[in-house]
Copies of this chain bind each other. A is one copy, B any other.
């Protein structure tokens, strides 16, 4: 085998693998947004078959040989990274049989359907057997992949290359130490900022109209993106020029959908703004979860919670809802979207309490995969942690353990990347402010200048480097979570006059 032959084998295979990815992603988007419920059992079975069809290509000995060969020779930077990541993937795939892959896909899809039903009916017992089966399978699969590592360490590394419990323990310890006291202090000044108008009645049809203005402002363009509606908002990139996001409307919370749209648009830009040269690769556009969340939460919080973000948008919102917002000033509105309150729902949480929601999930996942708890106690443990860290009583399962989609998809180890991503974002935001007039851009409605900055310094690189290297290149420093805690302490001390 020579280099040219090996590369041809590699590219021919990933072309086929990407074709399966595309149809499976399309089916997944369809299932999560519009697919009729009664068809789901059949659909799930068929989709697991298609997963199985991809398996012999993904694990083709000819591909293994080509990858091994390429790994042994000199390659340019991009191909080297691509091939090293592909090697990791294929070694993991080879731990399983086609039947195991199909079974896991089917269990996953059925678990997701059960979660949806459980959440809608506010009944955890519908989801519990599926969750326990997913946990069991995840443990087995993870041990197959890395028999000598701790299961949760492997899972954390899956979503964020190089991370493990030791590093996250240190990170969350700092979060807890720096932020929990501030959360307590803010808790004592709950009357300072009025945000009651956020929770008035906002008919969904009108919210949908505003979301069009918002997308236009953000530059999320229908020629390369599409937004649907799903129970839990998500982003799914079919290709650089075909990025799907979803949102969810709550007629008694006008900012719920707004912040979910901004968040998912952050993900969408990351996919859309990749270097076009990556189109012929596979792994270079497969960014880590932490980096992805750094971009989504960047738009959501570091940009989307600023007063200047609303300079041109807020008058449109007011005009749509004069009865609710007619007498609310831009200043009052922009304070209200930053109210910090210990609450139940992660996705609706303010920036300050948000990492504590993540901390809770991190601690629970650690207990699950370190075999430290009886899994039947999960809802009880969830509720205890919410009481302990956030002081809130969980009134029902739908707003407790059933609130997030992730476990239903077996995304164990994903949650911590939300906090990590927020911290990465803070460091980038600090640098951005040194280089440009962020509020000026926002106030002018020049959002493109800001997404352009992210493209140039972060997004175009995709998965070519790990997050630490990206940060060094973009900010001149390695990852430092101090930027995150400093940002939050500074922001919330000012806001709450502490």
Contact = CB atoms under 8 A, between A and B. Distances in A.
B50 A226 contact: no
Contact of A38 (B26, B242, B279): B242
Given A16-B49, A35-B238, 14 more contacts: A15-B49, A19-B47, A19-B50, A30-B30, A34-B226, A35-B226, A35-B242, A36-B223, A36-B241, A38-B223, A38-B241, A42-B239, A42-B241, A42-B242
Contacts of A332: none
A19 B53 contact: yes
Contact of A39 (B36, B42, B46, B241): B241
Given A29-B30, A42-B241, A53-B16, A23 B47 contact: yes
Contacts of A241: 36, 38-39, 42
A141 interface: no
Contacts of A279: 42
A243 B224 CA distance: 27
A22 interface: yes
Prevailing SS type, chain A contact patch: helix
A315 interface: no
A46 B21 CA distance: 9
Contact of A34 (B36, B49, B228, B239): B228
B223 A43 contact: no
Interface in A216-255: 222-226, 228, 238-239, 241-243
Given A42-B242, A241-B42, A27 B22 contact: yes
Contacts of A223: 36-38
Given A23-B26, A27-B23, A49-B16, A39 B238 contact: yes
A224 B36 contact: yes
Contacts of A222: 36
A395 B47 CA distance: 47
Interface residues of A, number: 38
Contact of A46 (B18, B224, B228): B18
Contacts of A239: 39, 42-43
A493 to B, nearest CB: 43
A226 B39 CA distance: 11
B34 A22 contact: no
14 contacts: A15-B49, A16-B49, A18-B46, A19-B50, A22-B46, A26-B27, A26-B30, A29-B30, A36-B224, A37-B223, A38-B242, A39-B239, A42-B242, A43-B238
A24 interface: yes
Nearest to A27: B26
A205 interface: yes
Contacts of A205: 205
A36 B20 CA distance: 19
Contacts of A30: 26, 29-30
A267 to B, nearest CB: 15
Interface string A47-81: 10110010000000000000000000000000000
A22 B41 CA distance: 13
Interface string A170-208: 000000000000000000000000000000000001000
Contact of A36 (B26, B42, B226): B226
A214 B18 CA distance: 41
A297 to B, nearest CB: 24
A402 B49 CA distance: 39
A238 B44 CA distance: 12
A207 to B, nearest CB: 14
Contacts of A18: 46
B228 A39 contact: no
Given A30-B30, A42-B242, A205-B205, A22 B36 contact: no
Nearest to A222: B36
Residue of A29, A224, A225, A242 with most partner-chain B CB within 10 A? A242
B19 A46 contact: yes
